[in-house]
Structure 1
Amino acid sequence: MKKISWLVVIMCLTMIIFNQPLMKLGASLNVDTGITHYQLVVDGVKKDIYTFNKDINEILEKEEIELKNKDYIAKNIVDKKTKIEVIRCHEEFIEEKQEIAYEKEVKYDKEIKKGVRNIVEQGETGEKVIQYGVVYENGKEKERYVKDEKVIKEPKKEVIVEGQKEVIVVASRSNLTAKQVLTMRSTAYTHTGNRTATGTYPGVGTIAVDPRVIPLGTRVFVEGYGNAVARDTGGAIKGNIIDVFLNSKGECNKWGRRTVKVYILD
């Protein structure tokens, strides 16, 4: 022990004379001097410390370094030296406004043509205030979390009415649309001198129908015949059959009995 003590004294003197850290001299002589090399990093400033003291808190106290609030110490070994870094930690609170998207409600209406959409109640965005807690370490943001959230304006729901009524194009050049299409048997009749069931004299564009299938007064488009109005009835016209009016018996014979599509117009 006496030899080691005298050796330490000699090494200390050598350190003073040659400006060599005692720890390096000890390492070159393969002697454990008991001195620890610390690299202290505080507020971005590095400082090398050689000391017998192993208590980090005492080392910081001696260097007049104070830990505040949430400050903490990070310790690790770097290149055979103990790195002590003081992490300056603080928390701030910030507020941020955000929009709240409004919901959309779609209602369906069978009286409106399919594909038509009407906004009956305009939607409005809401607004909320979010308070964040932001944690900083050594001046850099480390963590962000939601501390509080408050709605300051409720969003208003948007209401849309969407048509469901089927629209059938009768002919590309006629600009007619139909709400229903019936496949029916058709015959033809001509002048009899009698009035129709609706009190008019028949003419081209008049058809006889079963009012239980097609109500009187209904506008239709008959395939191969054209536009017509259901104005008449007949004893043989029952169920899924129509009788179209033509100007002569010859035209009626030519028409004969056939299956046609009858478009019920809007």
Structure 2
Amino acid sequence: MNTSFTVTGLPTGIIRPHDPFTDRIIAAATAACRGFAEGDILILAETSVATAEGNVVRLDSVTPSPRAQQLAEKYHMDPRTVEVVLAESDSVVGGIPGFLLCMKHGTLLPNAGVDASNAPPGCIVPLPKDPDASAVRIRDEIAHRCHVRIGVIVADSRTHAMRLGCSGVAIGCAGITSVIDDRGRSDLFGRKLEVTKRAVADNIASAAELVMGEADECTPAAIVRGLGMPIGDQVGVDTIDADECLFMGVFRKSQT
């Protein structure tokens, strides 16, 4: 990869359910940096993708179950939000006031990714139903209309163990490899690396977060240009099983 690259935010205005999302992204890219170029990587905020796809839940349409009411009382949450979180979760492993810690598709995350930030009034937004499919669809639409090959990352903001604040994490990916295996390369002193793998999609998502923001910026997308990553047909974010995860392994042992 190149050592010099640019990150350009793409202001789109407010994204509403069933908006022509790719049209808005292409228009924003044209205004911000004269459109897409071969090898660009497009990063999209998951809330904007889910909203454009219509994956928005009106809280007044939700009837909390007894379990949702019980968890809401325990963790000081809106029972309707808890009901949606339960529907989005594979399991709930615990929580703190305001948040449930959930397993979803092999990933540990707060509230199963259900977000009230940047959601329409009276609504909450779950994660896109299939972030990889969303990334593929938008990649293909841009390739067809703009005649360039790009990578697409659907990104979320996540907290990390024992760290304050959020950083970007790739939850959907198309066109680039999400993890680069550096095992076998030498360090500064000639020792062979044995375990190092670079989460490049996560790192790119974090770089994009710096210009996309988390509040009222109306910048749900960014273009990273000049990295020189090969663009191909790769789809998906590489993950590991819970049994291989340091944090989950320690957590599970502490529960036994």
TM-score, structure 2 normalization:
0.18
- Greater share of residues in helix: 2
Q: Which has the larger radius of gyration?
A: 1
- Greater share of residues in strand: 1
TM-score, structure 1 normalization:
0.18
